[in-house]
Structure 1
Amino acid sequence: MNFSKTIAKIEDGVHKGIVPGASYSIIDGTDQIDEHLGFQELTPERQLLQDNETYDLASLTKVVGTTNVILQLINEHKINVDDSISKYLPEWKSPEVTIRNLLTHTSDIVGYIPHRNELPKNQLIKAELGLSSGDKRSQVLRYQDTNFLFLGWIASKILGKPIHQLIKERVLEPLGLTETTFAPRDISRVVPTQIVPGKGLLRGTVHDPKTQVLQEDSGAAGLFSTQLDLAKFLRFILGENRELTRAVLSDECLGSLFVDQTPTQIGIRSFGWVLTKYDDQPIILHTGYTGTLLIVDRHNHRGLVYLSNRVHPQVNGEPFLKYRSELIHTFMAESNK
């Protein structure tokens, strides 16, 4: 295994203060590197990162959890990928929007919810369902949490349980992801996120404000996990141990993650995941607002788990986004040597 440039880039991010610390796992066939460096916490105390600590995954919840539940429902013929979402959410008034639009972020949902993060749960749900689709549906990609909130509510409508419970029962438990949870027990092992006025340091409480309100009914965020559990998850996406994992995703569903699934073949989204190519081979990836990243290169059987708390003690914006883009390209280049 030779990922020296990727490792150097990860170390650079910590040494330059772009992130307080980072935990990472690199998969290369049967080999795997698991490392961590830097700080778990900078304030109110400086605490070094420990081995295999727990991070707020933010939007990685979408691909670790919600996407897989929805693909199961498609495979079980409980929904169709091109169904109108109004079939399941009748309050929604733009019936042209489909399950596929939600999964690929091509729904072009427009509108504004005043004081969104201060609304109680029932009012927030009503407000989200009161939005509408614009005139660019299926033509452009607009990444929006609302897409995956709707997917979570659709799954709940069909199966009668909150999406967080469905993710636990249908994905986490079958895959043996014992360190992945919506409710961390050992808070001392959880890497903190932001210091929020009126709430203090968030540690073990989900960072996303919509998920704080919606709690177990948010398909967009809420999961906490470790680098080792996520490496196990990436090996599932890479197609390992199919005799055990086929019950979670069929071969057809697993393969669909590496194919353009946008309605008009935009070429940059599969189901849930960002879709890109290197040397004409598909690579999928996803990021999380808190500073998390997964990359899967199925062709070369390689993957990257990168976990940081770039929102601690406050959000690091443009410098981190530029750095993350460089990290992604560095890993893809080394993976395809």
Structure 2
Amino acid sequence: MVVRAEYLCAKIKQLVNEQVVPGVSFAFITPECTIQDYYGANSWQPSVTPLKADQLYDLASLTKVLGTTTLLLHLIEQGQLQWKSKVADFLPYFQDSRVTITHLMTHTSGIRGYIPHRDQLSAPQLLRALQQLPVTDEFEQVVRYTDTGPILAGLIIEQLYQKPVQTVIAQQILQPLKLPMATFKPDPDLCVVTNRRAGYWLKGQVHDPKAWQLGPHCGSSGLFASVADLLVFTQWFLGQTKTIHPPIQQTMIDYLFQDFTKKQLGRSFGWDLRLNCVRQAVLYHTGFTGNFWLIDKQRQRALIVLSNRVHPLVQNQRFFLERDAIVDLFLQ
């Protein structure tokens, strides 16, 4: 096992050695050991700066699973929502009565469409436009991964709490689990550099355009965290640690390791699914900025990899090939 763990860690560090990413922070959990490490640089441009332990990364879409998904599961467990709660019952501008919370979080809602001048809209205008997108004939037939579903789910959370969704995530998820550094309002000096916007380098400011527009009302992106934060969350998810007031119970976590789509399209609630070497379900999710996360509860293993693969350029296709190879190695 030690040799295999060392091989996996070397494969992750190879992302830096081959200049696929500036730096990487990662954690690897097995029943025998937990490895946490960081390697490489914070930035290449405008100058090379060192990567430090526990620096904060723009989690991008990992916000969907750590925050919004866990919060929805909490509401379902508390009886405030149901798996088949209809979106139209909560959002006044959403008209299709077929679409449920589960459709949103499995990306099978069929919601698609073009929003004219999207980047010029205010937050209220964008939220209304997203609610008015049509449900296409892909409903329940296709997994079409978008941020629309989790954003609409975030609006439902706001209806129930009468607070911005990011405020609720902080109060109901981050604080009870005592994640040491996770925040929607990071100190830029603690963050890795991502990409350029309007002539300056983003550092502690969200990379995702919709999250930039929506601010605290975005349930799909916006969270910044260290690898230590995700390690705490993962160990709790695996049942390895206890917390006094957990957001959800272990029975709810166990329930996630199955396909939630009607046509067995390979999606859990919020999470993607992969199969390990003995054909058991593993939770998986990625983040656009260069993050990926796997949780294998049956084998008590997990992998967290955080990077800023969008630095200095978003067009970094090689990263995806290397990421998939690392994921395959973990699943084996």
Amino acid in structure 2 at the alignment position of 1:80: Q
Q: Counterpart of 1:114?
A: 116
SS at match of 2:235: helix
Q: Counterpart of 2:219?
A: 219
In the TM superposition, residue 251 of structure 1 has moved relative to its aligned partner by 2.7
Contact 2:237 2:250 in 1 (8 A): no
Please give the TM-score of this superposition, normalised by the length of structure 1: 0.94
Q: 1:330/1:282 Cα in 2 relative to 1: closer, same or farther (>3 Å)?
A: same
SS at match of 2:16: helix
In the TM superposition, residue 265 of structure 1 has moved relative to its aligned partner by 2.6
Q: Counterpart of 1:44?
A: 46
SS at match of 2:264: coil
Amino acid in structure 1 at the alignment position of 2:253: L
Alpha-carbon distance in 1 for matches of 2:109, 2:236 = 29
Contact 2:73 2:248 in 1 (8 A): yes
SS at match of 1:109: coil
Please give the TM-score of this superposition, normalised by the length of structure 2: 0.96
User: Which ranges in structure 2 are unaligned for 5 or more consecutive residues?
Assistant: none
Q: Counterpart of 2:27?
A: 25
Alpha-carbon distance in 2 for matches of 1:50, 1:251 = 33
Contact 1:256 1:271 in 2 (8 A): no
Q: Counterpart of 1:204?
A: 204
Alpha-carbon distance in 1 for matches of 2:244, 2:250 = 10
In the TM superposition, residue 96 of structure 1 has moved relative to its aligned partner by 1.1
User: Number of paired residues?
Assistant: 329
Structure 1, residues 55-91: CA drift from partner, whole Å, max 9, x if none? 0000000011000111111111111111210000121
Alpha-carbon distance in 1 for matches of 2:56, 2:85 = 37
Contact 2:22 2:42 in 1 (8 A): yes
Alpha-carbon distance in 2 for matches of 1:128, 1:48 = 40
Contact 1:273 1:284 in 2 (8 A): yes
In the TM superposition, residue 31 of structure 1 has moved relative to its aligned partner by 2.1
Q: Counterpart of 1:312?
A: 311
Q: 1:246/1:297 Cα in 2 relative to 1: closer, same or farther (>3 Å)?
A: farther
Q: Counterpart of 2:269?
A: 271
Alpha-carbon distance in 2 for matches of 1:82, 1:28 = 35
Structure 1, residues 220-264: CA drift from partner, whole Å, max 9, x if none? 00000001111111111112234x266311233211221111133
Identity, % of aligned positions: 36
Q: Counterpart of 2:18?
A: 16
Q: Counterpart of 2:148?
A: 146
Q: Counterpart of 1:297?
A: 296
In the TM superposition, residue 25 of structure 1 has moved relative to its aligned partner by 0.9
Runs of 4+ in structure 1 deviating by more than 4 angstroms, as ranges, are: none
Q: 1:291/1:319 Cα in 2 relative to 1: closer, same or farther (>3 Å)?
A: same
Alpha-carbon distance in 1 for matches of 2:250, 2:36 = 28
Alpha-carbon distance in 2 for matches of 1:261, 1:31 = 32
Contact 2:180 2:228 in 1 (8 A): no
Alpha-carbon distance in 1 for matches of 2:262, 2:158 = 25
SS at match of 1:132: coil
Amino acid in structure 2 at the alignment position of 1:48: P
In the TM superposition, residue 140 of structure 1 has moved relative to its aligned partner by 1.1
User: Which ranges in structure 1 are unaligned for 5 or more consecutive residues?
Assistant: none
Q: 1:245/1:111 Cα in 2 relative to 1: closer, same or farther (>3 Å)?
A: farther
Q: 1:199/1:97 Cα in 2 relative to 1: closer, same or farther (>3 Å)?
A: farther
